[in-house]
Structure 1
Amino acid sequence: MKTAEIARRYLDYFEKNGHTIVPSASLVTDDPALLFTVAGMVPFIPYLSGDVPAPYTRAADNQKCIRTNDIEEVGKTPRHGTFFQMLGNWSFGDYFKEGAIRFAWELLTSAEEDGGLAFDPKDLWVTVYEDDDEARELWLKIAGLPEERIQRLGKDTNYWSTGLPGPAGPCSEIFFDRGPAYGIDGGPATDDDRYVEIWNLVFMQYEITNVRSKYDFDIVGELPAKNIDTGMGLERVAFIKQGVDNMYETDQVRPVLDKAVELSGRRYGANHEDDVRFRVIADHVRSSLMLMSDGVTPSNDGRGYILRRLMRRAIRSMRLLGVEGPTFAELFTVSRDAMKEAYPVVETDWARISQYALAEEETFLRTLAAGSAILDDSVALTKKSGATAIAGSEAFLLHDTYGFPIDLTLEIAEEAGLSVDRAAFDTLMQEQRARAKADARSRKRQLADTSVYRDFRAKGETGFTGYTDLETESSVLGILVDGVSVDRAAVGQIAEVILAETALYAESGGQVADKGVIVGPGYELEVLDVQKPVPGLVSHTVEVTTGEVGVGQPATTVVDAANRRAARQAHSATHLVHAALRDTLGKTATQAGSLNRAGYMRFDFSWAQALSDATKSEIEEIANNAVRDNLEVTTRVLPLDEAKSLGAMALFGEKYGDTVRMVDIGGPWSRELCAGTHVSTSAEIGLINLVGESSVGASNRRVEALVGLDAFRSLAAERALVSQLTTTLKTPRDQLPARIAELTASLKAAEKKIAAFESKALADRLPALTATASTVGPYAVVAESLGAAASADDVRSLALQVRERLGSQASVVALGADVAGRPVVIVATNDAARAAGAKAGALAKAAAAALGGGGGGRDDVAQGGGTDAAALPAALSAVTGALGA
């Protein structure tokens, strides 16, 4: 009986018995806690929990599921698969135990001609929850099973709950006995592969609370509406009905296995390790096909990573079977043909699915070729050295340089009887990501000697289309990794990519590089930096985030539009501020450098003294007046000499060819040679807010400004602060400076008075503190908490005075206080105490340990501190305890 036929019979049976047939939900669940639909109940959780009223009282379905927590068991047992189909029938407050048991038994044991599955009752066993007498009696009555074939089991196997407060209940499971050839007698309780669970009936009848674990909770009472949740494993029933040994040999899976046998030239059943590989291939190819049919694509995180892992495990298994070349074209086609009867989408969406499958295989085969040899050497060297773990640096090299996945390294190491220093690998990965994100600009000149760009530059200049376009289709002319020209770069690698054309702006003229991505067939690159290593050539520093990029492939540059818009605003604002500076300070205030990026600009200029507040305000006003006037921004490409004759200013540090680009804002008022990107009219800048002016050298100054929305947000924050101050201080805005100065002066005077008062108060306690001296061993000891103190110096002074009062006997003084919310302990010892072995530094450390901090000092006086002022009594006790030890 074919798998699809079993599913059809199941759904037909329950439809005839009043159940609504519900289509399978997608493998991609919308539950944020789950990557995939991992069980048949997942789509019904809102109904079972009562969060959403069920739209039907009875339902049945065949739900697609993906579960990878047992991925290492795939191929090793007869029943573990990553993709599986769960047949289920559901009752929402309708029938309960008797109905569920009756339906299950009738469908399983009815003759095929009557629409049943024709299981022989003598081959079936049942388990019930150990306290569920009702279910046991129903099985006896409905199925007529002998008592010995109804086994009672505990909560760990026969009680269902989510592990959270809510619905729960006992289970009853149905098993098929495969016979003595598969294991010992004794029923499901023997936990043997001989007895295969085919159907689980969950009776949701209780409300639980105080959940301490999945199997430890309190039952509040029975649910007002009891539910039935059942699951019959379609693949398990199929391999039994088809008379094969495992799910990998069923009609929907075996064709892939057979094709793998054909391609490898090896025989299935001849070698256990090869058999496991054949089964892994059969399972993973089908699982990958089904995931892609639900829209999942290979990637480096989330669902895409699971798919990529499945596909790459299949590819590697084929390699271990001796097949070096690509096989997915044939394996996926066979799987499609086996599954299309049940899931027509695998055929109708075949063009897209096959494109992703073949691209992924091509990429990973190259990765395997480069990485496997290196890993084999690493395994051999590790064993030779007597170590048991491959160094994390080796695993990182494989990942970073060759795109070799860490999970594959772990698997290969485990097969060789080794582990991998995963902690060291993770540390290196974190460091690499930090370097890639935060320090790309410092790497840009280290990646390659400029001579390596000659061949690329010889093919012509890189066309820049970014003045008018934010996306441009091009092709990959070259790839550099660590300064060496290579054919391709894989996931996780940092590389330089040379394109024929680009819409991404390369850093120049003070404008930082664009943000964006480069995409192509089967790959995506995050752009970390864009530079011109040699004139006329643009190099993109990228991190390969998806797939693998190769020379000659199509590539589309995609500019981050929002970032570009803000960068244009900042660059045009820089021109306006430059013009405003020259208007205010004169023509000698010449440009000496600039930087502009999204929302921010800075401008360095020649000037010998700080700008007054009035001058800064004037510059800011002139620039913003230009914004208000909505001046036209025009660009012209013309001979350098002509541009200079028109008064265009050349920017600091820029080299110009015979032909230049001139940018006018408001005509000649702002006229500069500039290759940067700009707004169309000055009003698009929005707002310029000067936020800083400082010295950057003996004769150079720097102004900084926020631009556009960043400028607005800064001013809005200041406005809110001023409003809060006027309200709190009950002072008009124009009088705030004077009022704050008055309050500051009053506060300082008050602080001085308080400090003097506290110091005197402490000094007045000298006689009383001296009187508290007690004898600890050979020492006279004063150990007291002073409460609050103005400063540690006051506590120290008082401790020294108490020590003097105690005279020549061996004396130790330990005084604690709360100084500005932090605990301090001062320890002082006299000559006689030190001669007897009492050292202030060691005693202060003991006190500090109790305070959760540190301390120490000289033998005669020392200080300890911490964070927990409430622990001062314990700290003082630690001092006396140390003296008495």
Structure 2
Amino acid sequence: MKTADIAQRYLDYFEKNDHVVVPSASLVSDDPSILFTIAGMVPFIPYLTGVVPAPYKRAVDVQKCIRTNDIEEVGHTARHGTFFQMLGNWSFGDYFKEGAIEYAWDLLTRSEADGGLGFAERDLWVTVYQDDDEAAGYWRKIAGLPEERIQRLGREDNYWTTGQPGPAGPCSEIYFDRGPKYGRDGGPAVDDNRFTEIWNLVFMQYAITNVRSKTEFDIVGDLPQQNIDTGMGLERVAFIKQGVENMYEIDQVRPVLDRASELSGRRYGAVHEDDVRFRVIADHVRSSLMLLSDGVTPSNEGRGYILRRLMRRTVRAMRLLGVDAPTFPELFAASRDAMKDAYPVVSDDWARISQYAVAEEETFLRTLASGSTILDLALDDTKKKGGTSLGGADAFLLHDTYGFPIDLTLEVAQEAGLEVDRAAFDELMAEQKARAKADAKSRKRALADQSVYRDFRAQGETVFTGYTEMETGSTVLGLLVDGLPADRAVQGQIAEVILAETALYAESGGQVADKGVIVGPGYELEVLDVQKPVPGLVSHTVEVTAGEVAVGQPATSVVDAANRRAARQAHSATHLVHAALRDTLGKTATQAGSLNRAGYLRFDFAWGQALSAETKTEIEEIANNAVRDNLEVTTRIMPLDEAKALGAMALFGEKYGSEVRMVDIGGPWSRELCAGTHVASSAEVGLISLVGESSVGASNRRVEALVGLDAFRDLAAERTIVSQLTSALKIPRDQLPARIAELSANLKAAEKKIAAFEQKALADRAPQLAATATVVGGTRVVAQSIGSAASGDDVRTLALQVRDRLGADAAIVALGAVVGERPVVIVATNESARAAGAKAGVLAKAAAAVLGGGGGGRDDVAQGGGADASALDAALAAVTSTAAGA
């Protein structure tokens, strides 16, 4: 039974039992405290917690998930994968334990011919929470399971919580017995390798608080309604039904493994270490493909970093299999073909996906080449110093800064006959992880508890009237002060205001929130921000500037008309620039993110190289021609599938419901799904002026533009500058570039001559400075200030010249100068002085300590500096006294 067939059987079964089929949410989570959808229940959290009323009583879905906390286990076990699919059936206050158990048992044991999964009853075991007699009773009643195949486990295994105060409840897990070949008999309590968990039924019925750990919390009562949250691992069921050893060998994954085997010339099943690498490649390529298809792109932070790590681990595994050449074009194509039936987007969007994949592999192969050079130098330096181990800091620098894998560093070091201080490396890695974890916790703590919005959201969705109105009368439904519900807010306080209707646009889709005010009887509120803390609810962050506002009072939201007009111009201009980019560069130049606010837009798009001046001019001209042509801007609400069929562009990472808003500018020329505010015709945009183009990753570029009056003012300022230059230089405008280039060349030539004169003047001082040498403890010492200097290098050159003039006897030269208003001291020692114990680095540090800065260097020449130029003479005296002590 193919993996996609298993998923379809699951959906069909529950749809026939009155469940609404819900499409998979994106891998990119709505919850800012987590990067990805890490479990099937994540998209349903607002319904399960009651913050948002569920739009249905029963639901069923196949949810895409990414989880990388067990990434080191990938390839070593039968069931650990970074990408996986969770089959789930959900009840929101409808059926509970009996219904969930009945559905699960029926689907699992019903024959394949009758639409079931055809598991033999004798192979199935279950676990229940140790005190859940009710669930155990239903398993005996519905499934007829004997007591020994209903095992009771504690909170660690069979109790579900979010890890925070809120909903919780016991759970019941269903296990499949793989047979004596895989371990001991006795059920999952004895051996969870032989007995593989395939389905978890969560009975969400209690509210908990005072959460101290996974197993330590206080149950404070029943939830307002009982919910069912189930999750069945599709890959686990697939490898059992397909009769293969693990999830890497199922039909959706095995083709990548086989292609890696062909490319490497090594056979899967021959060598254990190679098999692990094959499985890592198969898993990571599929995960990367699915992340790319959901709009995640490789980068050095957040989601992009996780994707980059997966892709680079793949490259590393291929190298360990003996393949140094690029392989992503073939590996990703194999994964595409295996996944396209279940997820057509991987084929439909293949041009963009493959562009990112190929670019990332090329970048990392270059990184490996440069990292190898840096590593070779570090290893050579270690050997020259007589060391036997590469420092952990060096290994960490290679890993953290250059993306050079630690296992590759270990391998190369071993080949060079050296070890790596792995303990120091691990300590640095642990510190980095601790910082990351602390940052994640702080971000999580910074989030308001969404449960505070539950009562507001229960009153219905906030009605947005801003598409047609600039002010709207309404009622204050709720207030939050310091994150907690309040009945009123007084002058000077910052508060969140919930209205039944609002004309103010909440930040979304790249468009920043409106500016404006909220007014009512005896009060006025300045709007600082407008957000959607939970789906369907708009919250206004305000400062009470006059009077006091209370729950239940009338309120009128008033939009800042000038700011909204400029924001509409910028958002429509963003669509025009996107269309112009696709006209110029092709259909693969797709949007990867945007920001638009009054008078300004920023647009990221998939492209791997800088745009030429001619291309930027062409894009700008196409966009402005669209403005000139006064194209009609229309918006339509329609089903998502219909909009996609019409060719509407969707922004990756944005979440769309079954009904969407499609914005046309000039018909199909620019057709995008967008909830933002827009002009009525393109001529209202005014002027579009591209002011910047830059890289934001290996395969992403960014253009920035000013729009409307802001664009005009910027061009007017440039015109004024040009006018001033032509007047000052007394030449026509068209000769300005050549004249400036000529003046620049003349200036550089003059600077070179001046530098040469200054260097000669300094060199001429060498005899005079050498003559000032005094004998300190048997060593000739020159410690003099030379005034100001153009650079530290000039001071260094003079110090070495003075040292050479002092001959072979022990000599120390310390010259001080002010370079760019900051003091610098250069110390040079000759061989005889060093033999007597004088070290330039130590002496430079002594000077720097007086200057209030830092210093150091080699034993023969070093530099110190600081911020206090008035202490230069004292710093030179410190060098002399330190030399006397040496």
Q: Give the TM-score normalised by structure 2.
A: 0.50
- Taking CA–CA contacts closer than 8 Å with sequence separation of 6 or more, which of the two structures ends up with the larger relative contact order? 2
Q: Which has the larger radius of gyration?
A: 1
Q: Give the TM-score normalised by structure 1.
A: 0.50
